Amino acid sequence: MLFSRLRLLLIGLFLVLGIVLHVQKGIGVAWYLYVTSLILLATHFLYGNVWAAFSKLRKGQLEEAERLLKQTTNPAWLAPGPKAYYHFIRGMIALQRKALPESENHLQKALDRGLRTNNDNALAALNLAHICFYEKRWKDCAKYLEQSKARQPNDLMIKEKIREMEKVLAQQLK
């Protein structure tokens, strides 16, 4: 939140300074302030607070992550990478709140758009497998579990959860 407000404050400051310099000295002195404010404005819409929210999610601060995501002006305007993580974060928050259809929708969008790391992709697929298991959709569960394994995560917790899910799914398929 502070970062977003600071960015908006800087945009306004650079724009006002640019206008003042433009009026007093001409465009030759003020153009770089206009360009800087445009770049900051573009980053506001293309990246939003997604990375700050992702950091909060990794620390387990779900409410703070959700609050940061709500400040995103229009998720459709996000760049592809931040958009994938926007859906990943929304999906993980929904999963924690037991809103399974919403979580499945967002996690699937995150996988479709492509997350940066194999661990993040594996975690999204593993959580989709968990949702399908809970809803007794065994074939979908197996599909997502295979997707999770195919990403070859290097996180030991993810690897352990994949092994656990494989054992439980094997028992259901007998």
Structure confidence by residue, pLDDT tens digits, 91-123: 999 999 999 999 999 999 999 999 999 999 999
Taking only the tens place, the pLDDT of each residue in 74-87 is 899 999 999 999 99
Among 95, 47, 98, which Cα is nearest to 72's?
Answer: 47
Domain check: are 71 and 121 in the same one? no
Is the CB of residue 50 less than 8 Å from the CB of residue 85? yes
Same domain, 153 and 121: yes
Whether residue 149 is found in the same domain as residue 161: yes
State yes or no: pLDDT of 128 exceeds 80: yes
Q: pLDDT band for position 54 (50/70/90)? A: very high
Separation between Cα atoms, residue 161 and residue 127, nearest integer Å: 10
Tell me: do 60 and 92 sit in the same domain. yes
Tell me what pLDDT residue 5 has: 78
Q: Is the pLDDT of residue 61 over 60?
A: yes
- The whole-angstrom separation of Cα 15 and Cα 39 is 11
Residue range(s) defining the domain that contains residue 85: 50-116
pLDDT digit string, tens, across residues 7-32: 889 999 999 999 999 999 989 888 99
55 and 112 fall within a common domain = yes
Q: Are residues 36 and 80 in the same domain?
A: no
**59 and 87 inside one domain:** yes
Burial of 113 (0-12, 13-18, 19+ CB in 10 A): middle
Look at residue 3 in the predicted model and tell me its pLDDT.
66
The last residue of a domain, from among 90, 116, 142: 116
Q: Rounded to two decimals, what is the model's pTM?
A: 0.86
Mean pLDDT of all residues belonging to the chain: 92
- Residue 79's CATH number: 1.25.40
% of the chain at pLDDT higher than 90: 79
Question: Of 132, 149, 152, 150, which is closest to residue 141 (Cα–Cα)?
Answer: 132
Residues in the chain: 174
φ/ψ of residue 49, rounded to 5: -110, 25
* pLDDT value at 1 more than 80: no
CA nearest 45: which of 87, 101, 7, 94? 7
One domain for residues 2 and 34 = yes
Q: 61 and 104 share a domain?
A: yes
Number of domains in the chain: 3
